[in-house]
Amino acid sequence: MSKYWSDAVTRLTPYVPGEQPKESGITKLNTNENPYPPSPKAAAVINNFDTDRLRLYSDPDCTQLKDAIADQFSVNRNNVFVGNGSDEVLAHTFAAFFRQEHPLLMPEFTYSFYPVYCDLFDIESKKIPLRDQFELNLDDYDQPNGGIIFANPNAPTSRAIELGDIEALAKRNTESVIVVDEAYVDFGASSAIELTQRYDNVLVIQTFSKSRSLAGMRVGYAIGHEDLIDGLERVKNSFNSYPLDMLAIESCVAAIQDNDYFAETNQKIINTREWTTEKLAELGFISLPSKTNFLFTSHRFLEAAELMGYLRSKKILVRYFSKPGIDNFLRITIGTQEEMELLVSTLEQHPDLFKMDAN
């Protein structure tokens, strides 16, 4: 607190990212990172980079990367916006489209950065309850709004919705922008990118941090109608002309073109997720049906907060949100098969697990 702060700064409640531990020997299943390294082609870009070029500014328009993304998804360059992680893309999205008369609608449980952006940009928001089993039902969004945002698959619930439901919403809700945050879409859900070609009110946001294994490189993007992209460019160019460095641009070009590697690592994660879901079920965990690289799970009788502490004492980090309604769930990232075997065997050694047989 300082007399020099703008009033709005005092009111902010900043986002708290998952812990990035500095000690080694930790099994890190808390921030939904990919357990596999990035594409070897992206790695080669970095290790062979002509560093003398770094004396020059990077391309403020990131044309090379926009073209690679456009090619990948069969859209045009002017349908693509890129930013410093999908968090920055989201921030510009909130500023560009959601400062409206009516409130922004979002699910009651979703990415916890959304309400933070609302505070930052002074956007009124309305949280729409999820239905039974955390089901996101877009029929609940038929009400006056200045925008709609949800994650598909949703986080931390891991559940996905059908493309047909999003299309139906896009048809009904023509006066505001519908943002589909697809950070996890590549692990089993259907992308709404094709809808952006037919509906000028749908914006899809994706990231290189999850399915492309480049969380440490900070690149995200949005795909939508060129007028939406133009709005984002206007905000971006009033904030920071060059948000992506040369290495981020060029390593992501290589990563997005390496579809074989992408398919192979994603399939491994999906297989491990299904194995883990089954094993955890045998230990008394009930997991929501996941289309992501994490499980949202609660135990029949062991408390989530206690389980998080137990796992932490065994050097396994998982994410826990002490928020009413989800405070008996753990969000567990799908790591390598070996990491998940370690998770399962560690849980099997929990001193109170034997009680399960008594239930």
Give the whole-angstrom CA distance, residue 331 versus residue 156.
7
Cβ nearer to a copy of itself, comparing 254 with 326: 254
Q: Tell me how far, at minimum, the Cβ of 286 lies from a copy of itself, in Å.
A: 29
Q: Tell me how far, at minimum, the Cβ of 223 lies from a copy of itself, in Å.
A: 15
Give all strands (DSSP E) within 47-113, no chain letters: 80-83, 104-107
Considering the rule CB under 8 A, would residue 179 count as an interface residue with a copy of itself? no
Single-letter code of the amino acid located at 2: S
Task: Please identify which residue in 38, 103, 107, 153 interacts with a copy of itself, judged by CB under 8 A.
Answer: 38
| Binding to a copy of itself, residues 237-256 (CB under 8 A) | 237-248, 251
φ, ψ (nearest 5 deg) of residue 83 = -155, 175
Q: Tell me how far, at minimum, the Cβ of 115 lies from a copy of itself, in Å.
A: 10
Q: How far is CA 13 from CA 112, 119, 122, in A?
A: 11, 8, 12
Single-letter code of the amino acid located at 23: E
| Binding to a copy of itself, residues 101-160 (CB under 8 A) | 116-117, 119-120
Cβ nearer to a copy of itself, comparing 227 with 282: 227
Q: Tell me how far, at minimum, the Cβ of 291 lies from a copy of itself, in Å.
A: 20
Give the whole-angstrom CA distance, residue 110 versus residue 156.
6
Locate 27 and state its tokens: 């099994």
Considering the rule CB under 8 A, would residue 37 count as an interface residue with a copy of itself? yes
Strand ranges of the sheet holding 330-333, from the earlier edge strand across to the other edge: 27-29, 316-320, 330-333, 294-299, 285-287
Considering the rule CB under 8 A, would residue 197 count as an interface residue with a copy of itself? no
CA 59, chain centre distance (Å): 26
Q: Tell me how far, at minimum, the Cβ of 287 lies from a copy of itself, in Å.
A: 23
Cβ nearer to a copy of itself, comparing 120 with 155: 120
Considering the rule CB under 8 A, would residue 12 count as an interface residue with a copy of itself? yes
Cβ nearer to a copy of itself, comparing 218 with 299: 218
Binding region for a copy of itself (CB under 8 A) out of 32-40, 72-80, 272-280, 317-325: 32-40
Q: What contacts 78, CB < 8 A, 6 or more positions away?
A: 226, 229, 230
Half-sphere exposure of 106 (CA within 13 A, CB side): 26
Single-letter code of the amino acid located at 283: L
Cβ nearer to a copy of itself, comparing 16 with 358: 16
Tokens 């997005």 identify what position? 256
Q: For the chain, how are helix, strand and coil distributed in percent, rounded to 5? A: 45, 15, 45
Cβ nearer to a copy of itself, comparing 20 with 143: 20
| Binding to a copy of itself, residues 62-101 (CB under 8 A) | 84-85, 87-88, 91, 95-100
Task: Please identify which residue in 163, 165, 190, 235 interacts with a copy of itself, judged by CB under 8 A.
Answer: 235
Q: What contacts 180, CB < 8 A, 6 or more positions away?
A: 150, 151, 152, 166, 192, 202, 203, 204, 205
Q: Tell me how far, at minimum, the Cβ of 119 lies from a copy of itself, in Å.
A: 6
| Binding to a copy of itself, residues 205-234 (CB under 8 A) | 209, 213-218, 227-228, 230-231, 233-234
Considering the rule CB under 8 A, would residue 4 count as an interface residue with a copy of itself? yes
What angle, 0 to 180 degrees and rounded to 10, lies between the N-to-C axes of helices 337-348 and 304-313?
Answer: 110
Task: Please identify which residue in 17, 144, 309, 325 interacts with a copy of itself, judged by CB under 8 A.
Answer: 17
